[in-house]
């Protein structure tokens, strides 16, 4: 599937028809010339690995009893003008399902929000080390004047966590239910309540951090984060001329924070349909829906500089060893993969709500992206750094020479 073509196409039209008093001459058929970019051996090798992955991924999914969808994207060029993506969707027994249906992105939403915040940093409208209160003077948290924007994106705020609200009879924290009796306003409600600790220091995962980050985007731009995303996903960061792009960068369906009804991929916990969540209550921390194709498209355009200038992208992906390689809204680290001669740089973002899990990987140097969604809460992806498990095997297959198969 070509999402954006980087080939120049030239059609040479036939000469005008002969005069009426002459015998008609057969017209020449138009000639189509396609100028394909010349690829280096390394770029050719990437393409071969992509092709092999696409052929064998279904069998790998069946062997692991993986129920869900896996999408991979590959760009042979460094400028992102051309990339190819494909996906396989099936149940744990290997029965194929329809690809390209929307999934809940869960906390991958945070990765998207962090990119939009960094776009404002690159424009000079937000400073990463400024206090959040500078942009949100109505934020009533005791930590409002102490938290920096950087700490907000790195979960170092000490804000309360909606996960800690009293669970309902199904075990769902009450904040994420339609019957929550409290105030969900990002600036005056639950997230502005009693804090859990002082800002800085070790990171502590917290959905309030990104619920507040969504409010910060709205305060700075005058638009909701949903409206900003709907506009910006269609263009590069530097775009000024609408003619530069003739189609959305993110392709099959628009991203949305509205839950599809019925949901194409509802989650299961211990083979039982998951409890009911109010997905919209996750807001900028986890409410996005989109297809697997949408996600790898986002990844490829991020990796090839379409969304951020180089210095802002480097800041976004500055994984801190003392914080477990946490960067801004994602993790950035190097790890050995099977078949690769040297450790590979990996950008990882994961998420889970109920019975749905997602793993999103970007390989900046190899210009590949891999997104994996499952509808099974218990599926074990493993950890890349452990050198084993499903994520490790899939990334190795996508990024590294595997030898004779």
The tokens for 315 are 């800041």
Question: Concatenated DSSP letters for 78-123?
Answer: SSSS-EEEEEEEE-TT--B--SS--EE-TTHHHHHHHHHHHHHHHH
- C-alpha pair distances (Å), 257 with each of 214, 279, 288, 399: 13, 8, 5, 32
Pick the closest to residue 39 from 91, 74, 85 (CA basis): 74
- Provide mean pLDDT across the span 68-83: 80
What digits encode the pLDDT tens for the residues 162-192?
Answer: 999 999 999 999 999 999 999 999 999 999 9
Q: Higher-confidence residue: 42 or 239?
A: 42
Q: Strand pairing partners for 368?
A: 74, 363
Q: What is the pLDDT of residue 201?
A: 86
Q: What is the pLDDT of residue 11?
A: 22
Residue reference for tokens 């790998």? 60
What digits encode the pLDDT tens for the residues 120-160?
Answer: 999 899 999 999 999 999 999 999 999 999 999 999 999 99
With H, G, I as helix, E, B as strand and everything else as coil, classify residue 331: strand
Domains of the chain are: 2-35 (no CATH), 41-399 (3.40.710.10)
- The rounded mean pLDDT for the chain is 85
């Amino acid at each position: 599937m070509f999402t954006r073509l980087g080939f120049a196409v030239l059609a040479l039209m036939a000469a005008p028809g002969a005069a009426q008093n002459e015998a008609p001459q057969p017209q020449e058929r138009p000639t189509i010339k396609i100028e394909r970019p010349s690829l280096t051996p390394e770029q050719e090798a990437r393409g071969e690995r992509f092709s092999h992955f696409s052929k064998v991924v279904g069998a790998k999914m069946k062997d692991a009893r993986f129920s869900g969808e896996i999408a991979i994207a590959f760009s042979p060029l460094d400028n992102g003008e051309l990339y190819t993506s494909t996906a396989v969707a099936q149940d744990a027994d290997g029965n194929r399902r329809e690809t390209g249906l929307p999934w809940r992105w869960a906390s991958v939403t945070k990765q998207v929000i962090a990119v939009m915040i960094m776009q404002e940093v690159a424009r000079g409208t937000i400073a990463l080390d400024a206090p959040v209160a500078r942009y949100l003077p109505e934020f009533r948290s005791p930590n409002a004047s102490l938290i920096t924007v950087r700490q907000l994106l790195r979960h170092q705020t000490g804000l309360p966590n909606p996960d800690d609200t009293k669970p309902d009879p199904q075990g769902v924290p009450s904040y994420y239910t339609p019957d929550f009796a409290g105030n969900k306003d990002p600036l005056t409600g639950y997230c502005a309540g009693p804090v859990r600790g002082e800002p800085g220091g070790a990171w502590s995962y917290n959905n309030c951090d990104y619920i507040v980050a969504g409010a910060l985007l709205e305060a700075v731009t005058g638009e909701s984060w949903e409206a900003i995303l709907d506009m910006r996903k269609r263009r590069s960061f530097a775009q000024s001329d609408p003619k530069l792009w003739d189609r959305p960068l993110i392709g099959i369906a628009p991203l949305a924070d509205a839950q599809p009804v019925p949901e194409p991929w509802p989650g299961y916990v211990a083979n039982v349909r998951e409890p009911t969540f109010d997905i919209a209550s996750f807001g900028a921390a986890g409410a996005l829906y989109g297809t697997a194709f949408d996600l790898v498209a986002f990844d490829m355009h991020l990796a090839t500089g379409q969304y951020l200038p180089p210095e802002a992208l480097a800041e976004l992906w500055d994984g801190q060893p003392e914080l477990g390689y946490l960067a801004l809204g994602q993790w950035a680290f190097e790890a050995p993969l099977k078949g690769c001669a040297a450790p590979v740089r990996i950008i990882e973002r994961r998420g889970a709500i109920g019975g749905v899990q997602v793993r999103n990987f970007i390989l900046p140097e190899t210009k590949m992206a891999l997104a994996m969604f499952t509808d099974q809460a218990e599926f074990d992806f493993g950890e890349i750094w452990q050198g084993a498990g499903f994520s490790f095997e899939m990334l190795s297959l996508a990024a590294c020479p595997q030898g004779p198969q």
